[in-house]
């Protein structure tokens, strides 16, 4: 059981979540949430979540709040997944593969479910992200070899004394070690 927002009736888990919802919506959007808080809790912006919760919950109706996992609810956002399987409706364990194997290995060709409606700004961001991802994978072919080539070209060598100031100090150099013939 939770509380319904007294402004927009969105259910919230508990009093602190209701306080957060009201305050964040008021700060980000102003509108009715800010007016409601200003009318009932004039110092709302200076209160901590527990204090604000104590002030707003008496004005809120009890509401049914169902706990759900984020990946099981359609929130109107594109479903971005790096594999070729569907977690949103897929029942979790026992769906045909392990999540641990190769977890850290980079994957190419992520899938995006574009069936949901998006606004033009989101579409532009998605297009740009797809293009950057495509370029990253194109440029990333042979990454380790390319990194080694770049290091060799820039003069970076795996010499442990290369940047050691103690080995470059002429005052600490031993002239006896400068003899080109170590057998003498």
Q: 158 lies in a domain? A: no
Bigger pLDDT: 164 vs 133: 133
Q: 161 lies in a domain? A: no
Q: 125 lies in a domain? A: no
Comparing CA positions, the residue from 88, 77, 82, 72 lying closest to residue 114 is 77
Quickly state the pLDDT bin for 173 (edges 50, 70, 90).
Answer: low
Q: What are 142-167's pLDDT values in tens digits? A: 455 555 555 555 555 555 555 555 55
- Cα 35 to Cα 19: distance, rounded to the nearest angstrom: 14
Q: 53 lies in a domain? A: yes
Q: 18 lies in a domain? A: yes
DSSP secondary structure letter of residue 177: G
- Cα 49 to Cα 44: distance, rounded to the nearest angstrom: 9
User: Is the model's pLDDT at 115 over the cut of 90?
Assistant: no
Q: What are 23-75's pLDDT values in tens digits? A: 999 999 888 999 999 999 999 989 999 999 999 999 999 988 777 666 555 55
Q: 22 lies in a domain? A: yes
Q: Which domain holds residue 56?
A: 2-63
Mode of pairing for the β-strands spanning 2-4 and 11-12: antiparallel
Please tell me whether the overall predicted TM-score, pTM, comes out greater than 0.85 for this model: no
Q: How many domains does the chain have?
A: 1
Q: 28 lies in a domain? A: yes
Q: 154 lies in a domain? A: no
């Amino acid at each position: 059981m939770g509380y319904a927002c007294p402004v927009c009736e969105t259910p919230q888990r508990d009093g602190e979540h209701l306080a957060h919802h009201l305050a964040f919506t008021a700060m980000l959007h102003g509108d009715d949430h800010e007016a409601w808080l200003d009318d009932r809790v004039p110092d709302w912006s200076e209160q901590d979540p527990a204090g604000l919760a104590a002030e707003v919950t008496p004005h809120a109706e009890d509401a049914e709040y169902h706990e759900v996992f984020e990946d099981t609810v359609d929130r109107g956002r594109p479903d971005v997944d790096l594999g070729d399987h569907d977690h949103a409706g897929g029942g979790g364990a026992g769906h045909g593969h392990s999540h641990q194997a190769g977890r850290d290995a980079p994957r190419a060709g992520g899938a995006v479910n574009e069936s949901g409606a998006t606004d033009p700004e989101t579409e532009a961001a998605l297009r740009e992200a797809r293009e950057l991802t495509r370029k990253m994978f194109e440029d990333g072919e042979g990454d380790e070899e390319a990194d080694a080539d770049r290091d060799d070209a820039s003069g970076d060598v795996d010499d442990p004394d290369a940047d050691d100031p103690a080995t470059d100090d002429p005052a600490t150099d031993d002239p006896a070690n400068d003899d080109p013939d170590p057998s003498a």
